[in-house]
A = this chain, B = another copy of it.
Amino acid sequence: MTIPRNAVSAKDVAEAAGVSRAAVSRTFTPGASVSPTTRAKVLAAAERLGYHVNHLARGLITAESGIVALIVAELDTPFRSRLLAALTEKLQADGKVAMLINTDRSDESVKGALRQAISYRTDAAVVLSGMPDPALGDLCIRNGLRLVLINREEGRPGALHIRLNDAACGAQAFEALRRIGCVRPAVATSRSATTSLRLRAEGFAHAAEDAGLPATREAIGVTSYAAGLDLGTALLSRSEPPDGIFCTTDLLAFGVLDVARQRFGRRVPEDLSVIGFDDVAQAGWDAYRLTTFAQPVDEISESIVSWLDGNGAADDLVELDAHLVWRDTVSMPSR
Q: Residues on A close to B: CB < 8 A?
A: 2-8, 50, 52-57, 59-65, 67, 70, 74-78, 80-82, 84-86, 88-89, 92, 97-102, 115-116, 118-121, 139, 142-144, 225, 229, 254-255, 257-259, 262, 281-282, 285-288
Contact = CB atoms under 8 A, between A and B. Distances in A.
Identical copies in the complex: 2
Contacts of A82: 76
A68 to B, nearest CB: 10
B63 A3 contact: yes
26 contacts: A3-B62, A5-B63, A7-B118, A50-B142, A50-B143, A52-B119, A54-B60, A56-B59, A56-B60, A56-B120, A75-B88, A76-B84, A76-B281, A77-B81, A81-B81, A81-B84, A84-B100, A88-B101, A89-B102, A92-B102, A97-B101, A98-B99, A99-B100, A225-B285, A258-B286, A258-B287
A7 B143 contact: yes
Given A2-B63, A7-B121, A56-B120, 17 more contacts: A4-B63, A7-B143, A7-B144, A8-B143, A50-B142, A52-B115, A70-B100, A75-B84, A75-B88, A76-B78, A76-B81, A76-B82, A76-B86, A77-B81, A97-B116, A225-B281, A258-B285
A2 B64 CA distance: 10
Nearest to A86: B76
Nearest to A138: B50
Nearest to A51: B143
A22 to B, nearest CB: 16
A64 B116 CA distance: 16
Contacts of A2: 61-63
Contacts of A116: 97
A175 B19 CA distance: 67
Contact of A64 (B3, B54, B60, B75): B3
A222 to B, nearest CB: 14
A59 B229 CA distance: 48
A263 to B, nearest CB: 8
A121 B287 contact: no
A176 B63 CA distance: 60
A188 to B, nearest CB: 16
A286 B56 contact: no
Q: Which 10 A-B pairs have the closest CB atoms?
A: A81-B81, A5-B63, A258-B286, A76-B85, A5-B144, A88-B102, A100-B100, A287-B287, A76-B82, A52-B118
Contacts of A229: 286
A84 B98 CA distance: 14
Contacts of A64: 3
A93 B222 CA distance: 24
A54 B3 contact: no
Contacts of A89: 102
Contacts of A84: 75-76, 81, 100
A85 B84 CA distance: 12
B6 A120 contact: no
Contacts of A92: 101-102
